[in-house]
Chains A and B, each alone.
Chain A
Amino acid sequence: MQDATPGQTAALIQVAGLEFAWPGTKQPVLHIPSFSLKPAERLFLHGPSGSGKSTFLSLLTGIHLPQAGSISILGQNLAALSGGGRDQFRASHLGYVFQQFNLLPYLSVIDNVMLPCRFSRLRRERANDVRAQALHLLERLDLLTVRNKPSTALSVGQQQRVALARALIGAPEILIADEPTSALDAERRNAFIELLFECAEENETAVLLASHDQHLATAFDRSISLAEINHATVNRHV
């Protein structure tokens, strides 16, 4: 409740009294009284697999709606938007990185990076020259030499970096990454996180990274555990 006051400290993501159960089930898998992400903050969300982490992220991205409580992103209550409106909103303000298999295999690396700008006018306008920004991001991530290769020709580490470039193009306010490093070895993991922070900083993008890997937490501004904020009883047995 400490972020309820409007002003310069207004949170990017504000969750209050959230409750979510899968359709057809009565037991809620998530019951999160409070959660927030501040502008340009780097937040680490720890949770073992099966703890409802992905479900929580799907609520934050507006794929699913909670049965109770509210999720506001940039002051916009997601529940007030239509399904298509939430899609549009997500396209404009969120960058997303998967655990792996981030890229469309039939598009080249640079086409993959420019993909969000096809779906969001806001990000297209913010990028100004889409191709130039894509090239800049690729250069930044040391991917310039592979820009015209099919994405299937890339190593896993390269693919994750391409996904990062794609998530950051058009400077969305929030970058959400779901286990982005679990396919990488320890050395590359840290390098990846470092690059992620550098690029996010350039764009003033806040980072919400969810992982089971507690080691990553040290580099972040703040670290919370899903088990701590989630009061739903169903997952307690893990």
Chain B
Amino acid sequence: MFRIALFSMLNRRLTVVLAILTVALSVLLLVGVERLRTEARNSFSNTVSGTDLIVGSRTGSVQLLLYSVFRVGNATNNIGWDSYLKLAHDPRVAWTIPISLGDSFKGFPVLGTTADYFKYLRYGDEQPLHFTRGGMFRHTHDAVLGANVANKRNYVLGQKIVLTHGSGDGALSDHSDQPFTVVGVLAPTGTPVDDSVHVSLDGLTAIHEGWQSGSASILSTTGIYAADENRAIPPPETITAFYVGLKSRTSLFSYQRKVNQYREETLMAIMPGVALSELWQLMKVAEQALLIVSVFVMVIGLLGMLTALLTGLDERRREMAILRSVGARAWQIFLLVMGETLWLVSIGILLGMSLLYLALLIARPILRETYSLNISLYWPTRSECGLLLATLLAGAVIGAIPAWRAYRMSLNDGLSQKI
């Protein structure tokens, strides 16, 4: 019986191959979209990991997240250096990373920070930052480039770069008097780190000496500030925000309360995971629309297969009559058609998944480099298996239609060859 089914399908190989392809491409799209969706969400919610709280001046939590993590938009207010020191020396605190934003380099944000940034910042699955070339900044005018920044124009170590005061198109003027030297390049992370230029807080202070008015003073343009690399730089007056790692997560809420109730400045502390998922909610509509579209593609694919099967059935009436005449039971005819459909769908699913993995294998480096989207290869997850099972079940339901028709037909036609 199996042999007969196999040869019968081989006899109709064009239709069969097209039906399999229809299912395969639908599966490819459905699971592909599901996987991209999951990966994008994972990559997004793992932009920051290992950081318990982010502290900034009081604003909306999503806004604080946007400028402190994604370097989008501007801080409404800065944090005074004194306040930072006080909060950072709390006994519950294990480490802090101060960040200072505002300047840019060819459109990329410049981030002033300390060596602790490279020591404590984690992304993804608690992964630390790595250098592909060089190391972290040691002198006032050293800069460490994110992977995308370095790749864009193939910056090499030792190259001089000039930062721009302010950011975006409205940027005012260049800090051409005090160029920075590239001393390190970070490995790609798939997070906004890739798009940042990292300098020391001292470096930012140094290039802004004499800029209190908002533009370069005569003194600063002479270049005397830049002359001495080792001169003492005063601490910055303010920073934009700081990341906090606590010794124990149990003190999370008490420390958060302390920040929120800090008297000398109006500050707030947010949990990055919570804020990230709030931000993701905004994108959820688009994400779900994508999934719904791919579900519909799957339905259309299965209906296409149904059409092919039903059309083929009329041409197979003679075949059914012959099988009945040599003793095939009516239920065997039902099984023949049903089994064929299930087989088609199964092969389609397998082919679709193979194509998916092939596509992922090919697209992985491209996605990583172009979109900083890190897609890992793993076996189908439970929800993907659910999708595949649903596809198989839908295939079974759809396959029952031609199978039932064939069953009725073989009961009525019997041995008469209706042509």
Contact = CB atoms under 8 A, between A and B. Distances in A.
Contacts of A70: none
Contacts of A90: 327
Interface in A116-132: 116, 118-120
A116 B326 contact: yes
Given A103-B322, A104-B8, A106-B7, A54 B416 contact: yes
A101 B320 CA distance: 12
A104 B319 CA distance: 6
Interface string B17-47: 0000000000000000000000000000000
Interface stretch (B248-256, B276-284, B328-336): B328-336
Nearest to B413: A63
A141 B190 CA distance: 76
Question: A83, A101, A119 — which one has the most chain B CB atoms within 10 A of its CB?
Answer: A119
Interface residues of B, number: 26
A58 B325 CA distance: 10
A102 interface: yes
A104 B322 contact: yes
Contacts of A102: 322
B227 interface: no
Interface string B313-347: 00000110111111111111000000000000000
A99 interface: yes
Interface in A17-76: 54, 57-58, 61, 63-64
B326 A57 contact: no
Nearest to B329: A87
Given A98-B325, A103-B322, A104-B8, A61 B330 contact: no
A99 B417 contact: yes
A78 interface: no
Contacts of B299: none
B4 interface: yes
A119 B10 CA distance: 21
A84 B8 CA distance: 23
Contacts of B1: 118
A58 B414 contact: yes
A107 interface: yes
Contacts of A106: 7-8, 10-11
Contacts of B332: 119
B195 to A, nearest CB: 60
22 contacts: A57-B415, A58-B414, A61-B325, A63-B411, A63-B414, A87-B327, A87-B328, A91-B326, A91-B328, A96-B326, A98-B415, A101-B417, A102-B322, A104-B323, A105-B11, A106-B7, A106-B8, A107-B7, A116-B327, A119-B328, A166-B326, A178-B415
